[in-house]
């Protein structure tokens, strides 16, 4: 049971890393607080269990906009989500390469697809604005404008570097959670198992037509473990337990984010509703030159 609790804590921490990494990709003047990002990430991940066709993005956008705080436009949130997906793939690249090197020939082909996708995202981020010269992007004014905003959001800067490190920490904490959960089920420690399971289940989030991220991830996880030589019972138990714990961690993250967002809103309202002290009112009413005169200055009442 201690390993199960540690696995759940690792899954919950991954949502925190992801939320704060996503926050770094917003423009400085339109950057929401971390609590609202955490609530949006958790709500989207929890709803992804049942929503098809990546409708969890709609939940993420609507949750972030309804929680208030900084006024955010729909285009700004959409650009940040696209940028998050690209940097997320780049952050997964070292883990995917490690899984490809350590895996056997059975899963080599799908892992090569994951590595190629991550490498393509890295190439797009590296080229930046030069990608806008391609005919496919340059023919459409709207696509060209969207790409320029994505390129601006993902250009190399301190915020982009921090976002990449936080997303790498997100994937690392999930790999740690999977390793602990496998150990709780009696499977000996194997970094190959943890990395391959993580990369293959993470790759399902790329597919736009799924029955939900968690459902697709559970099926992929069970198949990958069975292909790697794990017994059928353990593979099914792990996929169900991991899916349940990820969903529970997403609900917990949404609850923590919502509570933090409500607390911030309450504090902001108290600050705005606080009465102005009399000394501040007098300093605002009396001019500076009049306030510095001697005692023969006229009183405020006169």
Tens-digit pLDDT profile for residues 156-172: 678 888 988 998 899 88
Residue 250 is predicted with a pLDDT of 92
Residue 69 is predicted with a pLDDT of 66
Residue 300 is predicted with a pLDDT of 45
Q: Per-residue confidence at 15, pLDDT binned at 50, 70, 90?
A: very high
Q: Looking at residues 221-227, what average pLDDT do you find?
A: 76
Q: Looking at residues 270-293, what average pLDDT do you find?
A: 54
Return d(Cα 119, Cα 183) in angstroms, integer: 32
Residue 18 is predicted with a pLDDT of 92
Residue 125 is predicted with a pLDDT of 78
Whether the pLDDT of residue 237 is over 80: the answer is yes
For 285-302, b/e burial (b = at least 16 CB within 10 A) is eeeeeeeeeeeeeeeeee
pLDDT tens for 40-99 read 999 988 887 777 667 778 888 888 888 866 677 777 787 788 888 888 888 888 888 888
Query: 246 with 11: CB under 8 angstroms?
Result: yes
Phi first, then psi: give them for residue 137, nearest 5 degrees: -90, -40
Beta strand spans in 172-232 (E): none
How many CB atoms neighbour CB 194 within 10 A? 23
Whether the pLDDT of residue 179 is over 50: the answer is yes
Return d(Cα 73, Cα 139) in angstroms, integer: 25
Whether the pLDDT of residue 101 is over 50: the answer is yes
Q: Looking at residues 125-134, what average pLDDT do you find?
A: 67
Whether the pLDDT of residue 100 is over 90: the answer is no
The region of weakest confidence among 104-113, 213-222, 228-237 is: 213-222
Of 152, 205, 163, 149, whose CA–CA distance to 19 is shortest?
A: 163
Contacts 24+ apart (CB under 8 A), 262-271: 263/35, 264/33, 264/35, 264/69, 265/68, 265/69
Q: Per-residue confidence at 151, pLDDT binned at 50, 70, 90?
A: low
Alpha-carbon torsion 281, 285, 291, 296, what sign?
A: negative
Whether the pLDDT of residue 124 is over 70: the answer is yes
Q: Per-residue confidence at 128, pLDDT binned at 50, 70, 90?
A: low
Instruction: Name, in order, each residue with C-beta under 8 angstroms of 31's C-beta and a sequence gap of 6 or more.
Output: 23, 70
Torsion of CA 170, 165, 2, 189, to 10 degrees: 90
Specify the higher pLDDT residue, 228 or 205: 228
Phi first, then psi: give them for residue 56, nearest 5 degrees: -65, -20
């Amino acid at each position: 049971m201690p390993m199960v609790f540690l696995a759940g804590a690792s899954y919950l921490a991954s949502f925190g890393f992801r939320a704060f990494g996503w926050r770094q990709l917003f423009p400085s003047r339109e950057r929401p607080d971390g609590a609202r990002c955490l609530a949006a990430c958790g709500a989207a991940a929890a709803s992804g269990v049942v929503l098809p066709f990546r409708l969890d993005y709609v939940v993420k956008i609507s949750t972030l906009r309804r929680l208030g705080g900084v006024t955010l436009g729909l285009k700004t949130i959409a650009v940040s989500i696209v940028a998050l997906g690209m940097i997320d793939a780049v952050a997964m690249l070292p883990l995917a390469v490690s899984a490809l090197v350590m895996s056997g020939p059975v899963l080599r082909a799908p892992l090569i697809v994951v590595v190629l996708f991550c490498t393509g995202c890295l190439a797009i981020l590296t080229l930046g604005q030069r990608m806008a010269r391609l005919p496919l992007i340059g023919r459409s004014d709207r696509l060209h404008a969207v790409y320029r905003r994505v390129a601006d959001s993902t250009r190399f800067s301190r915020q982009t570097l921090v976002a990449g490190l936080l997303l790498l920490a997100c994937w690392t904490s999930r790999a740690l959670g999977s390793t602990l959960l496998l150990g709780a089920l009696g499977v000996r420690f194997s970094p190959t198992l943890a990395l391959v399971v993580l990369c293959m289940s993470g790759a399902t989030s790329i597919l736009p037509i799924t029955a939900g991220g968690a459902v697709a991830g559970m099926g992929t996880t069970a198949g990958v473990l069975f292909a790697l030589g794990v017994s059928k019972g353990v593979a099914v138990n792990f996929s169900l337990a991991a899916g349940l714990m990820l969903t529970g961690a997403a609900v917990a993250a949404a609850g923590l984010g919502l509570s933090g967002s409500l607390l911030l809103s309450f504090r902001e309202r108290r600050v705005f509703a606080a009465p102005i002290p009399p000394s501040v009112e007098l300093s605002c009413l009396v001019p500076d030159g009049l306030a510095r005169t001697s005692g023969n200055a006229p009183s405020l009442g006169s």
